[in-house]
Amino acid sequence: MDLLVGQVFTGLSTGSILLLAALGLSLTFGQMGVINMAHGEFIMAGCYTAYVTQQLVGDAGASLLIALPVGFLVGGAMGLILEAVLIRHLYHRPLDTLLVTFGVGLVLQQVARDVFGAPAVNVTVPEALRGGVDLLGTTVPKTRLFILALAVVAVTAVTLVLRFTPAGRRIRAVVGNRDLAETAGISSRAVDAGTFFIGSGLAGVAGVALTLIGSTSPTTGQSYLVDAFLVVVAGGMGRIKGAVVAAVALGTFQAVFETYSTASLAKVGVFIVIVVFLQLRPQGLFTLRTRSLA
């Protein structure tokens, strides 16, 4: 029983980390079809935002509360610039976008290396988040609970924004039918920029949160990126719901698999599961069936 609770929680926790990293992607890749390989570096920027904020503020708790919104703005601003300068001109070349943004990621990593140095840096965890909570017989680290809660908040916020705000309706209109949305007077350019801002901002938030459970180095973001992409692929293009289910499923699978074998075999296991899964549902978990375009 304890083992089961422990595994379920580890799965949820791993899933929530994946989800935080993937949520922004499910907006930019899922909704817009843009493969932004620099998304990992936006996460990394969030991590360093938390680090720098703590250097400036001192108090761990206050700096975390400040860093979360600031991380959103830093990630968002970087996304906005990237969209305006490069991605906007490459919307009809998705695979080229992947390679160009990989180049951007390389540059950003090197910038981080030159500014902060190659060795990893650490952020002090606030007093309130140290230690664990007893939950159904197992001890659960508070930092992991915080990340889980943050993931829930982020998903809820994104869902609410998409569903109930005028901006969100515009985003969904452009995703649904770009040309039609334009004829309806929606500036798809502004919507693209806005979507990218939010998606990249979420990467920044994810980065801030991830400093609570690990150290930060210039390649931090890269290590989360491939897993995050797999979540979006398995979840289905453009479906937040899919990303949530896929992240939790993959997280649980990885956690359980790791218990019975090794972490490295778990990675291979995840890959095999996704390839097999795509045999059954090539379009991912949730898709809208429409008259398909040839």
Partner 1 sequence: MSTTALTCKNIEVDFDGFKAVNGVDLTLDRGEVHFLIGPNGAGKTTLVDAITGLARYTGSVTKDTAGKGAVELRGKKVHHIARAGIGRTFQTATVFENLTVAQNLDIAAGAGRSPWTLLRRRAHLPANVTAVIEQIGLHEHADTPAGILAHGQKQWLEIGMLLVGDADVLLLDEPIAGMGADERETTGRLLHDIAATRAVAVVEHDMDFMRAFASRVTVLHAGTVLAAGTVDDVSNDPRVQEVYLGTTHTESDMEPADAATA
Partner 2 sequence: MTRFLATRAGIWTGFAAAALVLFGAAPLLLSGFRLGLFAQFLCYAIVAVGIGLAWGRGGMLTLGQGVFFGMGAYLMAMHMKMADAEFRNGPGSVPDFMELAGIRELPAYWAPFSSPAFTIAAILIVPTAFAVLLGFAVFKRRVKGAYFAILSQALAGAFAILLIGQQSMGGFNGLSRFRYFFGYNLDDPVNQQMLYFIAAGVLLVVVAVALQLRRSRYGELLVAVRDAEERVRFLGYDAANIKVVAYATAALFASVAGAIFVPVVGIISPASIGIVPSIMFILGVAIGGRASLVGPVVGALAVAAAQTALSEQFPSAWTYAQGLLFIVVIALLPGGIASIAAATKRFRKEPATAEATA
Residues that bind partner 2 (CB under 8 A): 29, 33, 35, 86, 89-90, 93-96, 98-100, 102-107, 109-110, 113-114, 222, 226, 229-230, 233, 262-265, 267-268, 270-271, 274-275, 278-279, 282, 294
User: Shortest gap between Cβ of 24 and partner 2 (angstroms)?
Assistant: 16
- Of 9 and 42, the one with the shorter C-beta distance to partner 2 is 42
Angstrom distance (rounded) from CA 12 to CA 15:
5
Q: Tokens standing for 181?
A: 């949305």
Query: DSSP characters for 62-74?
Result: HHHHHHHHHHHHH
Angstrom distance (rounded) from CA 85 to CA 83:
6
64 Ramachandran zone, left/alpha/beta (phi>0; psi -120 to 50) = alpha
Amino acid in the structure at residue 137: G
Q: Tokens standing for 4?
A: 């089961």
State the pairing for strand pair 132-135/138-141. antiparallel
**Is residue 180 within the footprint of partner 1 (CB under 8 A)?**
no
Interface with partner 1 (CB under 8 A), residue from 118, 136, 180, 288? 288
Burial of 97 from C-beta contacts in 10 A (0-12 / 13-18 / 19+)? buried
Residue 289 binds which entry of partner 2, partner 1, none, CB below 5-8 Å type-dependent: partner 1
Residue 1 binds which entry of partner 1, partner 2, none, CB below 5-8 Å type-dependent: none
User: Shortest gap between Cβ of 140 and partner 2 (angstroms)?
Assistant: 27
Angstrom distance (rounded) from CA 197 to CA 203:
10
- Strand runs (DSSP E) across 62-168, as ranges? 132-135, 138-141
User: Shortest gap between Cβ of 277 and partner 1 (angstroms)?
Assistant: 20
- Of 92 and 289, the one with the shorter C-beta distance to partner 1 is 289
Angstrom distance (rounded) from CA 74 to CA 58:
20
Angstrom distance (rounded) from CA 19 to CA 100:
25
Residue 288 binds which entry of partner 1, partner 2, none, CB below 5-8 Å type-dependent: partner 1
User: Shortest gap between Cβ of 28 and partner 2 (angstroms)?
Assistant: 12
- Of 55 and 262, the one with the shorter C-beta distance to partner 2 is 262
Query: Which residues from 65-94 bind partner 1, rule CB under 8 A?
Result: none
Residue 166 binds which entry of partner 1, partner 2, none, CB below 5-8 Å type-dependent: none
Total residues at the site for partner 1 (CB under 8 A)? 6
Residue 197 binds which entry of partner 2, partner 1, none, CB below 5-8 Å type-dependent: none
- Of 183 and 264, the one with the shorter C-beta distance to partner 2 is 264
In the numeric block, the tokens 């997280």 are attached to: 251
**Is residue 292 within the footprint of partner 1 (CB under 8 A)?**
yes
User: Shortest gap between Cβ of 270 and partner 2 (angstroms)?
Assistant: 7
Residue 219, phi then psi, degrees to nearest 5: -100, 10
Residue 290 binds which entry of partner 2, partner 1, none, CB below 5-8 Å type-dependent: partner 1
Amino acid in the structure at residue 39: H
Q: Partners of 138 in the beta sheet?
A: 135
- Where along the sequence are the contacts to partner 1 (CB under 8 A)? 288-292, 294
